[in-house]
Every structure is written in C-alpha cells, then in structure tokens.
C-alpha cells in the first residue's frame, strides 16, 4: 500500500512540470555537464511560468535534475531573485545602498508603505505589488532609483512615487 502511494507521489512529481517548462529546462541541460548545473536556470524558468517556486515546484525540479529537494532549496534560498513565497504581479526593488540612502530612499520606503500598505517583504492584498530592498541598481547618478517590475525609475521623488502607484488602493 505504502509503495503504491509512493509511486503515485513520485509520478505526480515527475509530471508536475509543464511541457513548456521541460522544454526550456532541457535547452539549458544541453549546455551543462551535469543536470544540477542547470539548477538556477531551472528555478528561474519555473518561476517565470508560475510567478514563484512553491515546495511542489521545487520538488519537481529537484526530481528532474536528479538532486535532493534540500540541496536545491539551499540554492533557491541563497538567491534574492528566486522567490520561495508568492509575490505580487510586480516586484518593487527599492535600492537602499549608500547613494540612494543619502538621497532619501528611507523616506521613499515609508511613502510606499503608506501608499500601498506594505513593508519590506510584503505583498499588497490585491496581489499587485511586493516590496523588496535591493542592492545598488547601478544608476547612482540618478539616485534615488527603484525598479517596478521590469522598469527602472530614476530620480524618484515623492510626487513621482505618488503618480507611480496612483491606481493602487492605498492602505489595505
């Protein structure tokens, strides 16, 4: 009985990745000498399809790459841009390195919290935004800067921030 359950669990794991995900992971596997070499790429591929990497996704990737889930989780949790918890449609990456700090990023963080009702690491109730701190974004001549989704915003001010999230519902 146990073994049948186990077989069912294992087969669920094997089939948990979509054909599109498997095709993209296979393309990465062609470049690496061992399957585990594609671990980060595979995590990013699955995240691109699903928004984040759940325990089930992680186990499925680990199984496909012939790794233990624990080993893969050690890799997934190391990298700041692999999300092991659900995130909003757009992730806000607020630079809080030293030049942006001098130019007032802490004030911007407070304003985001006031406007969207979220602190660092939190997601709005409507699932639109997640706020994360980020290492120097490499645009220090335009500090303070932040990314919202794929877009870089430079010389951010109280006014521009207000406009950026004007459609957000304020505090949840």
Partner 1 sequence: MSLDRPLTRNVRPDKSPTDMAAYEANGGYQGLRAAMGKLSPGDCLQIIKDSNLRGRGGAGFPTGMKWSFVPMDNPSGGHKYLICNADEMEPGTFKDRLLMECDPHQLIEGMILSAYTIQADVAYIFIRAEYLLAADLLRQAIAECHAKGYLGKNILGTDYNLEIHVHASAGRYICGEETALINALEGKRANPRAKPPFPQVSGLWGRPTIVNNVETLCNIHHIIERGADWFQSLGLTTDAGTKMYGVSGRVKKPGCWELPIGTTVREILEEYAGGMEDGYQMRGFLPGGGSTDFLVEEHLDLAMDYDTIGKAGSRMGTGTMIILDDKTCPVGFVKNLVEFFSRESCGFCTPCRDGLPWSAQVLDDIEHGRGLPEDLDTLARQVGFIGAMGNTHCALAPGAMEPLASGLKYFREDFERHISAGECHFSNSKTGGAG
Q: Which residues contact 67 (CB under 8 A, 6 or more apart)?
A: 35, 36, 39
Provide, rounded to whole angstroms, the least separation between the CB of residue 163 and partner 1.
22
Which residue's structure tokens are 């691109």? Answer: 48
> φ and ψ at 106, to 5 degrees?
-65, -35
DSSP letter for each residue of 88-123: -SEEEEEE-SHHHHHTTHHHHHHHHHHHH---TT-B
Provide, rounded to whole angstroms, the least separation between the CB of residue 52 and partner 1.
13
Q: Does 18 contact partner 1 by CB under 8 A? A: no
Provide, rounded to whole angstroms, the least separation between the CB of residue 101 and partner 1.
5
Q: Does 122 contact partner 1 by CB under 8 A? A: no
H or E element in which residue 49 lies: helix 39-50
Q: Which residues contact 167 (CB under 8 A, 6 or more apart)?
A: none
Q: Does 9 contact partner 1 by CB under 8 A? A: no
Determine which residue in the list 8, 10, 12, 74 makes contact with partner 1, applying CB under 8 A.
Answer: 74
Q: Does 48 contact partner 1 by CB under 8 A? A: no
Nearer to partner 1 among residue 31 and residue 166 (C-beta): 31
Determine which residue in the list 140, 148, 164, 168 makes contact with partner 1, applying CB under 8 A.
Answer: 140
Helix or strand or coil: residue 82? coil
Residues that bind partner 1 (CB under 8 A): 31-33, 36-41, 43-44, 74-75, 78-82, 93, 96-99, 101-102, 104, 106-107, 109-110, 134-143, 147, 150, 152
């Amino acid at each position: 009985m146990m073994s049948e359950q186990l077989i069912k669990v294992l087969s669920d794991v094997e089939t948990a990745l979509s054909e599109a995900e498997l095709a993209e992971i296979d393309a990465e596997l062609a470049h690496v000498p061992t399957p585990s070499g594609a671990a980060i790429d595979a995590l990013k591929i699955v995240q691109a399809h699903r928004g984040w990497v759940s325990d089930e996704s992680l186990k499925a990737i680990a199984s496909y790459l012939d790794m233990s889930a624990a080993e893969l989780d050690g890799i997934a949790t190391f990298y700041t841009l692999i999300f092991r918890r659900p995130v909003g449609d757009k992730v806000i990456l607020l630079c809080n390195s030293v030049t942006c700090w001098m130019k007032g990023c802490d004030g911007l963080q407070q304003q985001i919290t006031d406007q969207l009702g979220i602190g660092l690491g939190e997601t709005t109730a409507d699932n639109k935004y997640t706020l994360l701190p980020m290492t120097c974004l490499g645009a220090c001549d335009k500090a303070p800067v932040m990314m919202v989704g794929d877009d870089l915003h430079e010389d951010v001010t109280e006014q521009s921030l207000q406009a950026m999230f004007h459609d957000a519902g304020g505090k949840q």
